[in-house]
Amino acid sequence: MSETLLSESGRRARHGSNIGQPLTRRDGVLKVTGAATYAADNHPEGMLYAVVATSTIARGRVTFLDEAAARAHPGVVEVMTGANRPALATDPDEKSNPFMFRLDLLQNDRVRYPTQPIAVVIAETLEAATEGAMLLAPRYEAEPARTGLDGAESFAPQSVGVGNPAFAETGDVESGLASAARRVDATYETPAQYHNAMEPHCVVAQWDGDTLSLDMPSQGLAMAQGRIAGLFGIAPENIRIRSPFLGGGFGSKGFPAGPQILGILAARLTGRPVKLVLRREQMFGPVGHRAPTRQRIRLGMAEDGRFTAIENHTRTTSSTFDDFFEPAADVAHTLYASPAIRTSYDVVRLDTGTPLFMRAPGEATGSIALESAIDEAAEAAGMDPLAFRLKNYAEVEPISGKPFSSKALRECYRQGAERFGWSKRPQQARQMRDEAGLLVGWGMGTATFPALMFQAKARATIRRDGTGLIETGAHDMGQGAWTALAQIGADAIGLGMDEVEFRAGTSDLPDAGIAGGSGHTATAGMALHKAGLAVIEKLAELAVSDERSPLYGAGNVGTIAREGKLLRRDDESRGEPYTAILERAGLAKIEAEGEAAADGAAQEAYAMHAHGAVFAEVKVDPDLGQIRATRLVGAFAAGRVINPKLVQSQLFGGMIWGVSFALHEHAVTDRRSGRVMNADLAEYPIPVNADVPSLETILVHEDDAHVNALGIKGVGEIGITGTGGAVANAIWHATGKRIRRFPISLADLLD
């Protein structure tokens, strides 16, 4: 399969809009039959295999590598260390912008975290490279590992996330707490979590002089191209990256990882194509993770249950050598109304790889704590949790004062509660059991995620044969971008999906921005929409200025593009096919480009968020403490829905991750060595089908004219943000126990 995905075959052309239709994924058959080509599936002629040798200590320096033993192994071609690594044009520890993170590229003998690359063995076979790496038998000068949220001295950061203020306040929090009739003061802890996409980070690299060809998974082709160009001192246009499919990313593939750059260096050192694929345990370190948090939340309520103060103080961690601080407290800015709100942070530096973006960064960690605290506040106020949220949800974003679509959130509450049967919920805990005697609990949580949009470009072409071509360097991590973006592009040029070829997934196409922050469909989709409008405008100019066309002179009234024809806006009985217009003009095709970016004025005036409400049922064994999330209903308002089938899939994925956050997922660190002890898929717990037997989503209609012209918001991350809290609150309702450390285990319930 090439990187160009051709139009669907065997489908009847649709009449009317492609947007809003639950079309099956264009790439689905390719994936399930094994025909989709992922990065590591490529095998150029003469290719070598590279294996990274990684540190087994958390801190110190490498004092010895047995390079001679590794080189003597049959099949080993080269051993790359700091002594013979090809030179780089820039220091991998330099940072020129907030989205650039420091890389470990064998620049010295220092070890900064476990699984840090310390050498690369390159061989004719994968087996020889793997055995050669084992023969290096490194020796170290080790220093004590700094681990845990109390493992080093804390300090107040200047910013969190990427440039978010580390301190924000409105009103007088201390006065609001002092005057409150009721208060909640609780501390919640969330663990470190690691990206475990099906496809590990990898690269197939091939040099031809100063021209570089790469097969590598990427959520941001243009950003990767620029970063690699800077490191190697070559022009970005000399680098071609192919990434038609990604086996998951969750934020970890937004930027080139150190091991991928090492694969490129290995290809330069040997002068041959090189493939490097990380093993599963090597994913726990150099490619980012979600940092742990400890969040102290203080809430004050008046006699009527309204908030008088909200505060979240978060402690989190980063590496010793770079800055990314999980912005967990910031979700308190966006949901609940209070005259006084304060968020603040302190952080510690540990001997770990640098934390990075991981699905709903900040929102996932912050919302599970906040929604648990909101439930505690509702209990203290003697109110139903839904009624309490309805009383306190914000009509405007509390910190900024900007209005947002609060009506949509109210509708999510209403529809979700009705479908779930919330009105039958007893207010007191430990009141429900099933026929087997298991404790039953119902809980809820509010979901929110910002409606982000970045910059992108696209190109649209109409051909004389009546077909279309739409192109943008988009990324499909499995979310269905191949299909949703094609639906947008096809509508923009007035053609059915069968008549449109969609090209994406390579860096030589127009820059589609980054597939992150749930903003890819809005960003790349708007670029495709504008490119389509531009090419239709060019086609219309040909027709309305041609005396032989039925559209001649229609420039003032305008035209409509529909089903391969241009029609007069004031008289749709008069028009002609695209084919006739191009044939008369003697053109084989006509094309145009489009660019998209967020509307700065709208962003200044409005707070832009998607909203939702998740309702969860759990069952708990009263004797053994075993927990099952037996039923989830989520209602979400996320702007205009391009493809309901794909949206539902994304929401399901987010909700499953929310269950995972509440009940399963955590990295266990050995405090003596600093190493992650469950760095595999056998002991790193994630849900399976049996853990989530019933999922239901409701797509709440929402028209938001301010986010972008198409009204698109994102759905990839919002499902996590309400679900974790809903499950935790359901466990309290079942057992009467408030567990404030996640994931919740049977041991917590048996204490």
Which sequence positions are flagged as catalytic? 717
Q: How many residues does the chain have?
A: 751
Q: Which residue stretches of 53-113 are H helix?
A: 67-72
**DSSP for 364-431?**
HHHHHHHHHHHHHHHHHHT--HHHHHHHHB-SB-TTT--B--HHHHHHHHHHHHHHHTGGG--SSSS-
User: Pairing between strand 48-54 and 274-277?
Assistant: parallel
d(CA 234, CA 633): 51
**At 16, which amino acid appears?**
G
Whether the CB-CB separation of 738 and 297 falls below 8 Å is answered with no
Residue 568 exposure: Cα atoms within 13 Å on the Cβ side: 16
d(CA 113, CA 59): 6
Task: Pick the closest to residue 742 from 626, 661, 658, 657 (CA basis).
Answer: 661
CA 414 to chain centroid = 28
d(CA 250, CA 358): 6
d(CA 393, CA 370): 13
The dihedrals phi and psi of 729, each to the nearest 5 degrees, come to -70, -35
- Between the alpha carbon of residue 397 and those of residues 336, 553, 595, 704, the distances in Å are 8, 49, 29, 16
Burial class (CB in 10 A: 0-12, 13-18, 19+), 683: exposed
Q: How many CB atoms lie within 10 A of CB 490?
A: 27
